[in-house]
């Protein structure tokens, strides 16, 4: 038997007893629009092929042609489009950044736990592209007319994300940059104590670099305020079987038991101190 024709490779015939991409939950998603949010982060609006809409904090596994399959949070759902906001960090995200309107990726999901949004005042604390799931949460919070502060940090002004969107959603926006090019100079954790003293919050939501989230969790819980954090760990399967995203020593898996966890749960794990790398080895954060 010779090699299959080109069209056979693109559209394989389903043979009885075999599986197609769809059988494994993959859905083809066409890019409706893309927007450069910063020099490193690009948002993609995908035609929504999922059977149910993701909740804030949930993620999808995105398989990019010629690249690998990577976990990405949902940063918004509007006009029947899913928005993902992706930092250009390595080989797969670079391939994704090269795609434009009309390009196609495969997605599976939505996966994981979500933020629980039934309080009357919130503080959202985000660093870098970690604000992606927070701005989606903000869209839900704003619909309920609840008071919300959006504290966002980045290395420099051009990397601050979704400021206008947060203002449009009625958030009290506070900015901090490491080089002082916008807002106060420093890290979000430098202003957190003052903010927690100044205003009353029922719930803190956080996403960003893990060391930052560790400080946010400690400071909020130290004042008796509940906190939920969305974690990023190395993921391979995305649905609980490979163990690459496990939190030691509890065995909790970020892909299925998370990515959103209550702060108290995280403090009983290696959160903020150690994680597993691509080979499964435990490394310092
Ligand atoms: C639940 C979750 C939600 C995420 N949401 C977003 C998001 O909204 N926007 C965004 O830009 N990024 C997000 N990420 C991170 C994103 O998955 C990685 O940056 C991406 O996988 C890097 O792929 P790469 O091939 O471009 O980089 P690589 O060249 O493979 O590596 C670059 C860096 O990314 C890390 N990385 C690589 N593969 C993975 C993986 N499968 N899981 C976790 N880390 C990995 C590597 O350890 C390395 O530090 C999320 C990760 C998780 C776990
Ligand atoms: S990514 Fe495989 S168990 Fe979580």
| pLDDT tens digits along 217-268 | 999 999 999 999 999 999 988 889 999 999 999 999 999 999 999 999 999 9
Q: How far apart are CA 247 and CA 282, in angstroms?
A: 10
Q: Report how far ligand 2's centroid is from the alpha carbon of 180 (Å).
A: 38
Ligand 2 proximity of 244 Cβ (cutoff 6 Å): yes
Given a cut of 70, whether residue 55 has pLDDT beyond it is yes
Given a cut of 70, whether residue 5 has pLDDT beyond it is no
CATH of 25-111, one of 1.10.1270.20, 3.40.50.12780, 1.10.10.10, 2.40.30.10: 2.40.30.10
Given a cut of 60, whether residue 20 has pLDDT beyond it is yes
Q: Report how far ligand 2's centroid is from the alpha carbon of 21 (Å).
A: 19
Which atom of ligand 2 has the smallest separation from the CA of 240? 3
Q: Report how far ligand 2's centroid is from the alpha carbon of 256 (Å).
A: 8
pTM: 0.91
User: Which ranges in the chain are annotated with CATH 3.40.50.80?
Assistant: 115-226
User: Which ranges in the chain are annotated with CATH 2.40.30.10?
Assistant: 25-111
Strands 274-276 and 246-247 turn out to be unpaired
| pLDDT tens digits along 93-122 | 999 999 999 999 999 999 999 999 988 899
Residue written as tokens 């954090």?
A: 229
| pLDDT tens digits along 26-41 | 889 999 999 999 999 9
What's the confidence (pLDDT) of residue 80? 85
Which atom of ligand 1 has the smallest separation from the CA of 96? 26
Which atom of ligand 2 has the smallest separation from the CA of 254? 4
- What topology does CATH give the domain 115-226? Rossmann fold (3.40.50)
What's the confidence (pLDDT) of residue 79? 81
Residue 274 Cα distances to 91, 127, 212, 255, 265, angstroms:
24, 19, 14, 17, 15
């Amino acid at each position: 038997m010779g090699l299959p024709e080109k069209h056979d490779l693109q559209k394989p015939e389903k043979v009885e007893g075999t599986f197609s991409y769809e059988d494994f939950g993959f859905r083809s998603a066409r890019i409706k629009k893309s927007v450069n949010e910063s020099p490193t982060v690009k948002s993609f609006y995908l035609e929504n092929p999922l059977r149910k809409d993701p909740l804030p904090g949930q993620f999808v596994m995105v398989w990019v042609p010629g690249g690998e399959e990577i976990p990405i949070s949902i940063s918004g759902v509007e006009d029947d489009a899913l928005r993902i906001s992706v930092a250009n960090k390595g080989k797969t995200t670079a391939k994704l950044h090269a795609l434009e309107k009309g390009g196609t990726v495969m997605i599976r999901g939505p996966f994981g736990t979500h933020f629980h949004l039934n309080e009357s005042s919130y503080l959202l604390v985000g660093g870098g592209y970690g604000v992606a799931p927070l701005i989606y949460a903000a869209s839900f919070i704003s619909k309920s007319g609840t008071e919300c502060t959006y504290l966002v940090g980045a290395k420099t002004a051009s990397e601050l994300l979704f400021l206008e969107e947060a203002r449009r959603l009625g958030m009290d926006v506070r900015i901090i940059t490491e080089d002082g090019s916008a807002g106060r100079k420093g890290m979000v954790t430098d202003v957190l104590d003052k903010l927690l003293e100044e205003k009353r919050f029922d719930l803190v939501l956080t996403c960003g670099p893990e060391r930052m989230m560790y400080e946010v969790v400690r400071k909020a819980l130290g004042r008796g305020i509940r906190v939920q954090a969305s974690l990023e760990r190395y993921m391979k399967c995305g649905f609980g079987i490979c163990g690459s995203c496990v939190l030691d020593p509890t065995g909790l898996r970020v892909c299925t038991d998370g990515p959103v966890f209550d702060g108290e749960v995280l403090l009983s794990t290696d959160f903020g101190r150690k994680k597993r790398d691509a080979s499964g080895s435990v490394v310092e954060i």
